Structure 1
Amino acid sequence: MFLLRFKKPWFLSVTFLIALLSTNTYSNQGTPLANYFADTWTTEDGLPHNSINAITQTSDGYLWFATWEGVARYNGSEFRFFERSEQTGIIDSGTRTLVPDSENGLWIAGARGGITYRNHQQWKPQPPAQSMVNHVMKDTKDNLWLAVEGTGVFFRPTQKSDGAPNAHNEVWVLKNKSAYRLLEDSQGRIWAATDSGLYHLNGNSQQDVLAQYNLPNRQVYSVIETRNKELLVATNRGAYVIKGSQALLLHPSLAGATITTLLEDKQNNIWLGTVNMGVFRFAHQKIEKLSADSGLPNNRVLSIFQDLENSIWIGTNGGLMRLRNAPFSSWTKERGLVGDYVRSVFALSPDSLLVGSSEGLSVIEKGLAYSALNQKSAQVSTLSFARRRAGGVWVGTYLNGLMVWQDNQLTPYFNEKNGLPSNEVRAVLEDTKGNLWIGTTTGLVRRNAQGEQTLFTREQGLPGNYIMALSEDTKGQIWVGTGVGVAIITGNEINTLSINAMEGAEYAFGFWPEKDYVWIATDRGLIRYRHKDGHLGLVGRKAGLPIDKLFQVISDNHGSLWLTSNRGIWQVAYDSAQAVADGKQENIDFEHFSQSDGMASAQANGGSNPTAVVMSNGTLWFATAKGVSMINSLRLTEKIARPLPLVLESVFVDGELVDSTQNAAFKPGTSRVAIHYAGLGYVLSSRIQYRTHLVGFEEGWSFRDKGTTAEYTNLPPGHYQLKLSARYPYNDWTPSETLYEFTIQPFIWQTREMQISAFVVLLLLLTAGVKWRLRQLQANELRLKKLVDKQTFALQQQTEELRCLANEDGLTHLPNRRAFDRSLSSTFANAKSQGTSLALAILDIDHFKAINDHYSHLVGDQAIQLIAKELHAMTNDNVHVARWGGEEFTLLIEGIGAHQAISYCDHLREKIANLDYTDLGENFAMTVSIGLAFSDQVRSYEDLLRSADKALYKAKQEGRNRVELI
């Protein structure tokens, strides 16, 4: 199964075509193409055009794409366009080639012979060529070479004075040909791929090299040098390797293909883009093919590129595709499993797995899946597995009782005919004493080594007869999970463990025993049992997990617990789970994995065992509703531990974009500074977390979670440095970098010189007044009193003005964030002490950036003022409104219940959506998303704020223009 994530619903089910032209083992292929996860982009997703002529990555980490409608830069979440303009120096938006250099510069060339160079956000246009430039190359002597459509190849020698190419001195080395690609190899030879062959431009003769190898009349579209110093040439009739005096066809199957572009990846695989057959990958004498039938946006491939994270980007005539090593790989029927609906998995060895599904048994070994049974054995619907001491594996089935799998055969062992209470066996365990435990839907059976059997049901003390999980702890006790609780069996004694006190937990789906603890996956979260005192601790919704029902818990032995559910796989830090269970920590961070991470289905199955296993090689395997999903926890840690490039995207001051390439001094009274940044990681870009520290204002770091904007309002005059750090969850923060520096200038009355002067003047006046008072005591006493009163009044006015500046938002005249924080703290404390209700709503204007971009920042500010006016009109003694910052507002609602608060917020949302905005612009519309949280669900006002913020994020994720709770 080749996993694809498309933006359009009709691509939800698609198979990947793999043409195996020779055999090879899984272990020496590198990453199989079927293990890649694909993402696609088109103009609907932000690209300026669907033809991707070139792809590259500059040393700062940005990805760049050349299209017929300009250049697109990608930061992992959005595209930014650069097109024809005086600023960029691009004379035509049609772009053919992008070539980076070691100085973080980028050469851009294309239609009408346009050439420009970008470095440090500065654009340096170059004199154009005679016609369209297909490729640009800087040689080791810094000469600038250009491959031109229809006219040939020339170079501009480097000027000795400044090292720049001499645009007025063009040296033509090949004329009257269409040149497509240039290459300087490790021997200093310069090659040109043209419509009439391959040319060695600094050789002894200007003759087609391929003709010398009896390959005349070949159109050559690309040429690269492989890591073993051989030339690989793409032609209209196949791809050829030049080895010394020979030119050999790369593979016979490619003989008739028109190859347009080439790439050798870091695993030494060769990728070949074709004009009408899609993409081929050649590795270890094996050819794999990806075409439009299997998900490629278009069969005409224009560019292929491997980024710094080893993802493969493919540019076609119909859009862009990325093949990445997703965290998860999945095996389904399309990859060899007998059935897709997998209920149980079992480790046979470090590199082989037994898989039980509704359609029978499979084995996954060294990446290959096949039937676990020979032709003589019939497949049965499988529920559970356990290791068998005498050899083979115990197999619990849906309709056939308990069976034994050994030597690729299934043999009946125990069923209703010979005493089993039910043929539906959902859990099996052979304990350290040689007892065989069989969990069925109508009771638990124990068979000892002598064949004697004992039935345990409710009558013998079990909490329920429906057995879903069995486990033996380190003390030799048997743990039994049922649909109505947990039992612990020691010998013949049954003790019931009451888990119902943990928020009403009943179902016990799975166990993970340790020396001092047993972890239990339940329908109310993860419960931890402590052996020394029997204490139960819960890691559930109150701790921040967004789900209740967990099917299985396993430890990767590297600091994480992995939890399965109907909504994907959840990873939590082991130490944090312990701290929450002990009551030392309120909230737990988690990482969520689903279909976008390579799982064929996010629905992990439960109610049978084991549904997840840890292999000794560090891989974790999970049973799902569509096959088996595997993740290598060690490889995941290695991948996300790479340093993240951090970049400054833009700076807005009072809503206006400013030049961020240099430090700035902002005018007195600047009320809002918004700094946008990004961490340029693409494989897991949605999971990058950020923290900022504004030196000069904040004492320490501010955690931004996944937010990419740091916004500050009403900063006092002074000099500031914004430091930025980022990380993937559970990893160390990157070393902090000073991302931007700026100064806010003071008003004259705020300068130290003016304050000193005022003090001196005041001192002189007081001295003169004292002397005058000595001369005319009574008269001067009255005048001095009036003067002091006047000065006191002025100081009071100044104090009031300063108080307003510190607590009022300048744009909307609503209370600002600082005033809101004080109000929230005191109001929350009163609500808790008096037992009254308090709701917090965070309101965010949907797509506000698009409003600014389309209508201007002035209109955006007017829109904010209009929203503020509407909110202010709704304030009373029980409703308090403040501007949180940017396009966000907060509402504190006192004294009404949850349903009233939800109704109130929904009414507010509808009112804003239905306002008349014609004064702001034609077809102007505006909606808001609202996140709502309640004080009775949290312990502190900080938690209340975090809950409302999470609810707002959920509202945005669910489609915006809605009210959501957490």
Structure 2
Amino acid sequence: MPLIYSHRTMPLWLGIMFLCALNVAHANTSTPLSDYFKDTWSTHEGLPHNSINAIAQTSDGYLWFATWEGVARYNGRDFRFYERSDKTGILDSGIRTLVSDSDNGLWIAGVRGGITYRQGNLWQPQSAAASMVNNVLKDSSGDLWIAVEGLGVFHRPKPSIENVATEEVWVLQNISAYRLLEDSKGRIWATTEEGLYHLNGQDKQEILTKFNLPKLHVYSILETHDKRLLVATERGAFILEDNRASIVHPSLAGEAISALMEDDENNLWLGTIKNGLIKVSNSHIERLNTHSGLPNNRVLSILQDFEGSIWIGTNGGLVRLRKAPFTTWTKSRNLVGDYVRSVIDIDSDTVLVGSSEGLSLIHNNIARNARANNSAPVSVLSFAKQHDGGIWVGTYLNGLMLWKDQQLIPQFDHGNGLPSDEVRSILEDSHGNLWIGTTNGLVQRNAAGQQQIFTRNNGLPDNYIMALAEDDRGQIWVGTGVGVAKLTSNGFEIVPINNLEEAEYAFGFWMEEGYVWIATDRGLIRYNQQDGQLGLVGRRSGLPIDKLFQVVYDGTNGLWLTSNRGIWRVDYHEAHAVADGRQNEIAFEHFSESDGLASAQANGGSNPAAVAMDNGKLWFATSKGVAMIDSSTISQKNTTRLPLTIESILADGFELSANQQNILPAGTNRVVFNYAGLGYIMSSRIEYRTRLVGFEDNWASRGKNTIAEYTNLAPGKYKFLVSARYPYSDWNNADQVYEFTISPHFWQRIELQISLAFLILVILASSIKWRVQRLQKSELKLKALVEKQTYALRQQSEDFQRQANEDKLTGLPNRRAFDKWLSDKFIQAKQQQTPLALVIMDIDHFKKINDHYSHLIGDKAIKALAKQLKLLADHQIHAARWGGEEFTLMIKDMNDADVAAYCENIRHCIETYDYSDIAADLTMTVSMGVAFAHQVESYQDLLRLADQALYRAKEQGRNRVEIWQ
């Protein structure tokens, strides 16, 4: 009898079994879903299709996504597609499953039964299945198990010397199988449309009935970290243990679960067919759906990557949940108001938050209203701790109040002594004096209740008080809108911060023994208590901003600065070095919305706008909520080792294998390396450096650029090194190495150069001896002889020059001569703004000519084409042999349309030319790539674009002219 129930009518036995499953998740506190930062991708961001059927990460660090339009590989910046082709063995672009292994391998299978294995850069196509493959499993003995839609499951024994042929043994038939699993006990499980099967057991019967469950649609299976089996069915997710099934959570009764994953914190992640994503931690359920940022409620796949991020594949795109450095509380997380101006710590687990709409208390990461009653909201500006307990609260319209016992009690306002009701800073000093900073003066109330008001008339730089602090000497520091003053025994003394780039606004202080740090509108200013000297850390030292609101110290080695453009972290020791003048530049790390801030606009002008707690947690007031970061996580993040890979290597446009050494031909002009650091949390911030040993003595900084290009390399051996790091952390070891050799031309070979030099020396010595002998006979004969020898040497030099600039086979100028032309004419064209076009021409399928007719006929064919090109050469057109079957044309003073027509005419002439005098039935066609000087800024880029246009012409079928667009 079918099991039928709903969320409201859950069977009693299901509730009892739930109690047994409460310990599925780890006992430690789990990161709530709201603390994860969401990133999404769809076809708009480069995916080939929005349905993400499967996700895998290979051991080299790449992420792979299976879609209906092929496999997409992601390196943190862009996607590379692999589609149906003979090379890959993919029979159809529709991919259903991806399974990675520990050998940097990836199993890929799809809708037409195609199965292929990719290891490194090598594709190994396998024998296809009879229908769509839903899953592939390679078990511990090396056997392959294949789950097939509508047909069941078969396995292929591991090939051996005795058993070369592939043998398929069907263990389930005439049933749709979805997922396969080998558990820690070596049992092979298959989920199907008719329940769960143990494939290598004594029988192949459905086993859910043994767990008192009916034959349900079972979509997925997972072995948890504590060795329990978890199955996802059409009516919930169940733990199978001791012949008993326990539902993961009673609220999931009747929920169709499609995907399962357990993260490294032992939380369960469940994908549903129509209700989005579910996270189960202890007995706590959290949901993510289209209302909270999921692109589609049908979840197809889930993966946690090496960095701990959660990737979710849906029918509408891809989502990543990552633990951003910052956690932000807003009204959506029960904060009273979003516009937060001030924050103060109560204890290690609790902070008080002041916003434009009132007071919030955050205790153990849970926010609530800090006031016990529903009193009228109060716009809060500032805080200070009261020595007797409670928190002083400065307001925007209600003067000074006291928060105590969850009550907000009025204290002083304009009606009983304050010069203004707007209180932006408060300080209770070590002598029991209460200092109240208003927008119309500074108020001091002593322990006896006596009050005194200080204004510009008493030595303050301004009446608008924004910041108050007490230093280690007991002096009171006052920050205003036009400067800073400190209260000494002689009264208020102006601190001349305006001497540093005309600084005026003093928004906040941080005190340390011997120094006072001031956040101003011209950067971070340090005051030295010993000599009264001021030092500035600002734009001149590398900070990209001027206006800073607050500075806090994280207790280890970081100073954190708030601003309208995010939060910045600088090294404490470097800040001192810059302030002392011992260092010119300071490194910084910038945090904004992509790091978990709901808004990068931090608030200032009232205090404290940020607070550092003893446990390393830092809290910041922003225009959209209060943000918290655990400063210890920053140092952990910066020591993360990045997987690093060389993605492609091009030599004069031809791709080389990154897995082997290469000997490049003589005349190789351009070598390009494309590399990537496979970090995904901060991929846009990864920095690179490279070094080409044999060409460079030191590392070359590449910034965030992932391409290194080298041109005009001399013959010799080279070793390419690349290293990466997260900002301001240590560089990773350069373990990505590629070695190659560029062969010399024959005249560049050292043995030939030595022989030639020796020959010249012998001839020269003989000539000298002969001339000395002849000198005695006749001065006239000696002069004639000298002239004859000089002429011979000049002719020899000219012959060498001609050989160096002329192609021996065709008589056309060679690549070296053409490079010189192109360089000179490119500069001239740019200066005079005259048209200049570059054409790279390649004989189509030239290898077939050599193979079919012979290399001798191939040489004659090249000479015949060169002859045609020679006829074109004049003052406007330069032709050259580029190398092999490649030729180049440089066309001057001809507009783009005429160049295109001219090239098309050349192509047609070459195609229709009669080559029968060379070989019967011989025909030739060419592909041409064209680029124009006005499209680029350097002639190297002109070469690159023409080269790429030529590749496009080849890809589009050859025998065509392709204009770079």
TM-score computed with the length of structure 1 as normaliser:
0.81
Matches within 5 A, 1:646-661: 646-661=644-659
Q: Decide whether the 8 Å contact of 2:933 with 2:942 is kept in 1.
A: no
Partner Cα distance (1:93, 1:641) in 2: 39
SS in 1 for 2:756: helix
Structure 1 residues 544-553 or 323-332, which shifts more?
544-553
Q: Which residue of 2 aligns with 1:694?
A: 692
Q: Which residue of 2 aligns with 1:40?
A: 40
Q: CA deviation at 1:861?
A: 8.0
701, 704, 716: which one pairs with 2:702?
704
Amino acid at match of 1:664: N
Over 3 Å counting, the alpha-carbon distance change for 1:760 and 1:256 in structure 2 is same
SS in 1 for 2:607: coil
Q: CA deviation at 1:492?
A: 5.0
SS in 2 for 1:754: helix
Q: CA deviation at 1:798?
A: 8.3
* Fraction of identical pairs, as percent: 58
Partner Cα distance (2:353, 2:122) in 1: 58
SS in 2 for 1:61: coil
Q: Which residue of 1 aligns with 2:106?
A: 106
Q: Decide whether the 8 Å contact of 2:931 with 2:942 is kept in 1.
A: no
Q: CA deviation at 1:23?
A: 14
Q: CA deviation at 1:120?
A: 2.0
Over 3 Å counting, the alpha-carbon distance change for 1:798 and 1:607 in structure 2 is farther
Partner Cα distance (1:719, 1:81) in 2: 34
Over 3 Å counting, the alpha-carbon distance change for 1:221 and 1:446 in structure 2 is same
**TM-superposition CA deviations, 1:122-157 (whole Å, max 9, x none):** 111111000011000011100011001111111110
Partner Cα distance (1:690, 1:815) in 2: 35
Partner Cα distance (2:376, 2:67) in 1: 56
Matches within 5 A, 1:875-894: none
Give unpaired runs (5+ residues) of structure 2: 1-20, 806-813, 828-925, 946-959
Question: Higher Cα Rg: structure 1 or 2?
Answer: 2
Q: CA deviation at 1:379?
A: 3.4
Partner Cα distance (2:594, 2:226) in 1: 36
Over 3 Å counting, the alpha-carbon distance change for 1:798 and 1:489 in structure 2 is farther
785, 805, 813: which one pairs with 2:823?
813
743, 750, 774: which one pairs with 2:748?
750
Over 3 Å counting, the alpha-carbon distance change for 1:765 and 1:521 in structure 2 is same
777, 786, 789: which one pairs with 1:787?
789
Q: Decide whether the 8 Å contact of 2:25 with 2:280 is kept in 1.
A: no
Q: Which residue of 1 aligns with 2:878?
A: none
Partner Cα distance (1:498, 1:815) in 2: 60
Q: Which residue of 2 aligns with 1:93?
A: 93
Over 3 Å counting, the alpha-carbon distance change for 1:770 and 1:359 in structure 2 is same
Q: CA deviation at 1:812?
A: 5.1
Partner Cα distance (1:388, 1:585) in 2: 41
Q: Decide whether the 8 Å contact of 1:568 with 1:604 is kept in 2.
A: yes
Q: Decide whether the 8 Å contact of 1:689 with 1:705 is kept in 2.
A: yes
Q: Which residue of 2 aligns with 1:346?
A: 344
Partner Cα distance (2:357, 2:717) in 1: 69
Runs of at least 4 residues off by over 6 Å: 21-27, 792-802, 804-811, 814-817, 858-861, 881-888
Q: CA deviation at 1:592?
A: 1.3
Amino acid at match of 2:138: K
Over 3 Å counting, the alpha-carbon distance change for 1:357 and 1:55 in structure 2 is same
Partner Cα distance (2:298, 2:749) in 1: 65
Matches within 5 A, 1:244-263: 244-263=242-261
Q: Which residue of 2 aligns with 1:477?
A: 475
Amino acid at match of 2:319: M
Q: Which residue of 2 aligns with 1:122?
A: 122
**TM-superposition CA deviations, 1:47-95 (whole Å, max 9, x none):** 0100000001000000000001000000001100001011211111111
Partner Cα distance (2:461, 2:230) in 1: 70
198, 201, 206: which one pairs with 1:200?
198
Over 3 Å counting, the alpha-carbon distance change for 1:805 and 1:675 in structure 2 is same
SS in 2 for 1:576: helix
Q: Decide whether the 8 Å contact of 2:483 with 2:497 is kept in 1.
A: yes
Q: Which residue of 1 aligns with 2:910?
A: none
Partner Cα distance (1:357, 1:554) in 2: 20
Partner Cα distance (1:136, 1:422) in 2: 74
Q: Which residue of 2 aligns with 1:615?
A: 613
Over 3 Å counting, the alpha-carbon distance change for 1:815 and 1:496 in structure 2 is farther
Q: CA deviation at 1:26?
A: 13
Q: Which residue of 2 aligns with 1:230?
A: 228
Q: Which residue of 2 aligns with 1:716?
A: 714
Q: CA deviation at 1:434?
A: 1.8
**TM-superposition CA deviations, 1:268-322 (whole Å, max 9, x none):** 1111111111111111011111111211111111101110111110001100000
Q: CA deviation at 1:815?
A: 11
* 1:71 and 2:81 aligned: no
Matches within 5 A, 1:130-145: 130-145=130-145
Q: CA deviation at 1:793?
A: 9.1
Q: Which residue of 2 aligns with 1:577?
A: 575
Q: Which residue of 2 aligns with 1:15?
A: none
Q: Decide whether the 8 Å contact of 2:212 with 2:244 is kept in 1.
A: no
* 1:60 and 2:70 aligned: no
* 1:381 and 2:379 aligned: yes
Q: Which residue of 1 aligns with 2:604?
A: 606
Q: Decide whether the 8 Å contact of 1:812 with 1:865 is kept in 2.
A: no
Partner Cα distance (2:24, 2:492) in 1: 54
Amino acid at match of 2:211: Y
Structure 1 residues 409-418 or 790-799, which shifts more?
790-799
SS in 2 for 1:191: strand
Amino acid at match of 2:367: A
Q: Decide whether the 8 Å contact of 2:552 with 2:611 is kept in 1.
A: yes
**TM-superposition CA deviations, 1:197-253 (whole Å, max 9, x none):** 100111111211012233223111111111111110111111111111111222221
Over 3 Å counting, the alpha-carbon distance change for 1:809 and 1:494 in structure 2 is farther
SS in 1 for 2:408: strand
Q: Which residue of 2 aligns with 1:916?
A: none
Over 3 Å counting, the alpha-carbon distance change for 1:669 and 1:266 in structure 2 is same
TM-score computed with the length of structure 2 as normaliser:
0.81
How many residues are paired up?
820
SS in 1 for 2:112: helix
Q: Decide whether the 8 Å contact of 1:816 with 1:883 is kept in 2.
A: no
Q: Which residue of 2 aligns with 1:514?
A: 512
Over 3 Å counting, the alpha-carbon distance change for 1:322 and 1:654 in structure 2 is same
Structure 1 residues 176-185 or 449-458, which shifts more?
449-458
Q: CA deviation at 1:345?
A: 0.4
Matches within 5 A, 1:269-348: 269-348=267-346
Q: Which residue of 2 aligns with 1:150?
A: 150
SS in 2 for 1:112: coil
Partner Cα distance (1:690, 1:247) in 2: 52
Give unpaired runs (5+ residues) of structure 1: 1-20, 818-857, 872-880, 889-918, 926-966
Amino acid at match of 2:64: W
Q: Decide whether the 8 Å contact of 2:26 with 2:267 is kept in 1.
A: no
Amino acid at match of 2:599: S
Q: Decide whether the 8 Å contact of 2:25 with 2:268 is kept in 1.
A: no
SS in 1 for 2:509: strand
Q: CA deviation at 1:762?
A: 0.6
Matches within 5 A, 1:627-646: 627-646=625-644
Q: Which residue of 1 aligns with 2:735?
A: 737
Q: Which residue of 2 aligns with 1:874?
A: none
**TM-superposition CA deviations, 1:840-898 (whole Å, max 9, x none):** xxxxxxxxxxxxxxxxxx99985464445xx6xxxxxxxxx88699989xxxxxxxxxx
Q: CA deviation at 1:794?
A: 7.2
Over 3 Å counting, the alpha-carbon distance change for 1:517 and 1:715 in structure 2 is farther
SS in 2 for 1:113: coil
Q: CA deviation at 1:776?
A: 2.8
Partner Cα distance (1:714, 1:426) in 2: 65
Partner Cα distance (1:686, 1:795) in 2: 55
Amino acid at match of 2:708: A
SS in 1 for 2:497: coil
**TM-superposition CA deviations, 1:19-51 (whole Å, max 9, x none):** xx9999999431111111110000010001000
Structure 1 residues 425-434 or 313-322, which shifts more?
425-434
Matches within 5 A, 1:355-366: 355-366=353-364
**TM-superposition CA deviations, 1:546-604 (whole Å, max 9, x none):** 22211111121222211111111111222222232233333322211111111111110
